[in-house]
Amino acid sequence: MSLISIEAASADAAPTRGLPSRETLTRAALAIAAGAAWIAFAFVTRHWPDAGEWGRGEELAQAAAGFGAALVLAGLLGGLWPRGAERLRRYTPWLLALGLFFILWQATTAKLALLPQPFFPPPHALVEVFVDDWPKLWESVVASLKLELLGFLAGAGAGFVVGVSLGWSRAFGYWVHPAMRLIGPMPSIAWLPIAFFAFPSSYSASIFLIGLTTGFPVAVLTWSGVASVNSAYYDVARTLGASRAFLIFKVAIPAALPHVFVGLFMGLGASFAVLVTAEMMGVKAGLGFYLQWAQGWAAYANMYAALLVMSLMCSGLITLLFRLRDRLLSWQKAEVQW
């Protein structure tokens, strides 16, 4: 009786051999649905008349249609490239949601004019900014990157040295710790009038303010990392004849690196707020100045384009910092990914 049952079960399962699984079909359906959403967005952009005058709608429709067709093909032919299909599976729900969002955005702005203009431009208005105004936008990106990196590197370097000194030397901490408690928690923007007066140029004052914003969290977290190193590490190193410099550079600093990177992440995020404020108030260059210029001329499409570029720039710098952390701290399991 058991043999007959096994044969019957094998006979029932035989027709399903070679057929795609339910999970594979769901992935393919999601990819096809995402492609259909982008094709629908292209159709709405091209064939539904605009309520106002905006350029680059044709180019946007062509790009969206091509992207949607590629997603549909990926859904239909995903079995031919399993690795690519697996990577696409992670982003398919987001691609579907973005396609539907762009349809809603296009309909409520350019087609039906339900949102007040010019405060809410349609998608192809942003495309027009990126295509027609890219020289000025790129110049602003380069200026912001240069100012941000100069201030961030200066502040991170100074904060690291101060943090190591605080964690290692009690005499240094006796004099510097009270000053840090007084100056560090104060918002860097509050120092803006004094910095612009004390420094020879607004550019150097902005570097100082960005460095101050970055340096405080780096110093505090580095100090915490050095101070929390297990004393047994020092005892073992001294037993093996380690010098003072060896204890600092080979024991204390490597053990404190996880704390240092936490401070770097905090400083990088906070420094962007100071960067934009400094560019608006005194530097007169960069994405912050571009934002102020766009708002003054009611060019809200330019303003949203600058905000998008600023977000991508900040996210890219954080990604680079995460990659550096993963390389230097390869021995530590990365619980947070970016």
Q: How confident is the model at residue 23 (pLDDT cuts 50, 70, 90)?
A: low
Exposed / middle / buried, residue 146 (Cβ in 10 Å: 0-12, 13-18, 19+): middle
pLDDT at residue 190, rounded to an integer: 85
Exposed / middle / buried, residue 121 (Cβ in 10 Å: 0-12, 13-18, 19+): buried
Q: What is the mean pLDDT of the chain?
A: 85
- String of DSSP letters for 207-258: HHHHHHHHHHHHHHHHHHHHHTS-HHHHHHHHHTT--HHHIIIIIIHHHHHH
pLDDT in tens, 268-319: 989 988 898 888 877 888 898 999 899 888 889 999 999 999 999 999 999 9
What average pLDDT does this structure show over 156-162? 95
Element holding 150 (H helix, E strand): helix 134-168
What is the rounded CA–CA span in Å between residue 34 and residue 32?
5
pTM over 0.85: no
pLDDT at 85 exceeding the cut of 70: no
pLDDT at 231 exceeding the cut of 90: no
Could you give the percent of the chain with pLDDT greater than 90? 43
Please identify which residue in the block is written with the tokens 């009786």: 1
pLDDT at residue 9, rounded to an integer: 45
Find all residues with CB under 8 Å of 275, minimum gap 6, and list them.
144, 147, 148, 151, 206, 210, 286, 288
Identify the three-state secondary structure at position 48: coil
What average pLDDT does this structure show over 21-34? 78
What is the rounded CA–CA span in Å between residue 249 and residue 238?
14
What is the rounded CA–CA span in Å between residue 114 and residue 22?
41
Report in angstroms the alpha-carbon separations of 147 from 39, 109, 160, 171, 285. Answer: 41, 36, 20, 34, 10
What is the rounded CA–CA span in Å between residue 1 and residue 5?
6
pLDDT at 5 exceeding the cut of 80: no
Q: Who wins on pLDDT, 155 or 194?
A: 155
Q: How confident is the model at residue 11 (pLDDT cuts 50, 70, 90)?
A: very low
Report in angstroms the alpha-carbon separations of 330 from 38, 263, 325, 333. Answer: 40, 18, 8, 7
pLDDT at residue 15, rounded to an integer: 44
pLDDT at 41 exceeding the cut of 90: yes
pLDDT at 165 exceeding the cut of 60: yes
- Using alpha carbons, select from 147, 84, 136 the residue that is nearest to residue 306: 136
pLDDT at residue 197, rounded to an integer: 85
pLDDT at residue 12, rounded to an integer: 46
pLDDT at residue 260, rounded to an integer: 93
* Lowest mean per-residue pLDDT among 139-148, 170-179, 186-195: 186-195
Could you give the percent of the chain with pLDDT greater than 70? 88
What is the rounded CA–CA span in Å between residue 317 and residue 329?
18
pLDDT at residue 66, rounded to an integer: 95
pLDDT at 334 exceeding the cut of 60: no
pLDDT at 83 exceeding the cut of 80: no
